[in-house]
Structure 1
């Protein structure tokens, strides 16, 4: 695998949520400084990436039935529709289900029934066939973390609370949940608490365990590792995705070590073993709370936040973190990266040419254009491009 593309001028967002619909990536909301996150009349922003042209578009849609501006929410795609649930602004946490139709570009608030989950943020979500799953997170209404796993049938719009049986994960938020090839749920990482009430930073733990919820059996199981030589360190606010029998984990943050990460690990479900895939020279900067979407063998990652070394006098903590968390100076990111899981020979050759600083003359015109998007050595700009030369 290779990080094969990097462009700037993506939406500068933190704790946003994104999904793939057809050839586009839809990104919803997220935190950005100097914006009003207390007014519930301001609708959530929608950004769309055309994956053929790498151009971003801000959608202007009717605000009727739209969710208010927020962060810490989740979205899943179901056909042409995107379902948004949870999240919060600086004052409120929302438990209404919203549906965005990508064809008519309109919002609706479907009427749901069943055992409806309480509003939360920092939860995890995924979809398998016609069912959306919501797990964990923090419920502001009762000031507690939750262990619950809820399922929403998107055809009947009936919520169900799944049985809490087996070796289930403890209270946590900012974790990830993916579906494996059989429709089972994989929960990894997050900020874990020993009980439902937040006890302060000294009570936080960052286990690197993996749990699987077997949907047909309605049973949780802790996954055993065949080896511990290459296991990722515990983290929260990371990204994960599933591809060809493997769970991939990227980046994240550990408050106990005050470390932001930019590594990549994969867990092979067949061998129960972890592998580290990190490239020492060419990779995004360490970060947390980015968005990541897989489209075939290409993975799109954008946004997030990391320490702002250029502004040491800024000691404001993130408004979307716990108020008990250590204050730090943070920078909101606006870059877009593509991780190619199965790069073709043409791509590998182009990466070699660019990273070896070889001349582009003689290459086909299309490859010469692609050369300007090739990232090198953690630099924000390719040696062939200048700042501001291209909008993504």
Structure 2
């Protein structure tokens, strides 16, 4: 039976936050305090066996204060990328900066590690998606306010060589967006929703975004059957001789996946 549980005792103050889990604990990197109107770089740990929080006294040079970043666990290390920071440190002054360097936190030693520079880097961004697959880190999408640009690029980071590589998947991918959800299901990434600039003009700055309800799947290990179906779609081949179940699957692959019409959204 599904059941919601609450933590007991001490808990982090009212903040926006990013959470990553391991087997027995949840690590929360606080990002923006609404009460203090400032960014944060604290890390809190939730012991899931006792449902109690602990503020981690980290060692090393911490990541810059930020919000809307990603933090992805690969083994015992947490890889922090992107987010919105401010030139004046923890305080919000509307002088935004978007870091594109990876920061690494070792959860065993509770230490921020010094990282080498990388020759090729994605653009700095916030509100992107990040996930780990086969020991590597992937990021998709996001937004950079200084460039006034939404992204729909996919990048892969190798933690051994400490290098980035831009990935060019086959097929028609999602449009540029931010705030989407990416979940790993086996060898597939399921992407849902997100926010993009509205194609309609005259809505005003407060409502110039739309929220999506579409679904996209990125297959890291497509079967021969899947590759054949993609070829049928790409080259518009005759389907009349195909079995009924294959034709049904082809129809599902080419039918609009939206569950509702795009909704006008406000900034965030």
Fold agreement, TM-score > 0.5:
yes
**Closer, same or farther in 2 for the Cα pair 1:111/1:291, shift >3 Å?**
closer
Match of 1:306 among 192, 196, 206: 196
1:324 matched residue in structure 2: none
**CA displacement, residues 303-337 of structure 1 (integer Å, 9 cap, x when unaligned):** 1110111x20101426xxxxxxxxxx111111011
In the other structure, the counterpart of 2:81 is: 188
Q: 1:207 aligns with which of 75, 88, 99?
A: 99
Question: 1:26-58 CA distances to partner (integer Å, 9 max, x unpaired)?
Answer: xxxxxxxxxxxxxxxxxxxxxxxxxxxxxxxxx
Match of 1:113 among 9, 23, 30: 9
Residue 55 (structure 2) pairs with residue 139 (structure 1): no
> Is contact 1:168–1:222 with CA below 8 Å preserved after alignment?
no
Q: Secondary structure at the match of 1:137?
A: strand
Matched ranges for 1:196-275 at <5 A: 196-200=90-94, 203-228=95-120, 231-275=121-165
Cα pair 1:234 1:254 within 8 Å, conserved: yes
SS of the residue corresponding to residue 367 of structure 1 reads: helix
SS in 1 for 2:15: coil
Q: Deviations over 1:72-119 (max 9, x none)?
A: xxxxxxxxxxxxxxxxxxxxxxxxxxxxxxx24x444x24124x2111
The structure-2 alpha-carbon separation of the partners of 1:161 and 1:111, relative to structure 1 and needing over 3 Å to count, comes to closer
Q: Take 1:162 and 1:238, find their aligned partners in 2: how far apart are those partners?
A: 26
| Change in CA separation of 1:226 and 1:174 when aligned onto 2, cut-off 3 Å | closer
Q: Which runs of 5+ in 2 are unaligned?
A: 261-268
Partner of 1:148: 42
TM-score under structure 1 normalisation?
0.62
Alignment of 1:174 with 2:68, yes or no, is yes
Q: Is the 8 A contact 1:210 1:222 kept in 2?
A: no
TM value normalised by structure 2: 0.90
- Higher relative CO (Cα under 8 Å, sequence separation at least 6) belongs to 1
Shift of the 127–316 alpha-carbon distance from structure 1 to 2, 3 Å rule, reads same
Once the two structures are superposed, the pairs formed by residues 368-383 of structure 1 within 5 Å of their partners are: 368-374=247-253, 382=254
Distance 2:229 2:115 in 1: 40
Two-structure CA RMSD over aligned residues (Å):
2.0
Q: Map Cα deviations across residues 290-312 of structure 1 (whole Å, 9 max, x no partner).
A: 11111121111111110111x20
How many residues are aligned here?
259
Deviation, structure 1 residue 280: 7.7
Return the match for 2:52 from 130, 144, 158. Answer: 158
Counterpart of 1:25? none
> Match of 2:226, SS?
helix
1:391 is displaced (CA, Å) by 6.0
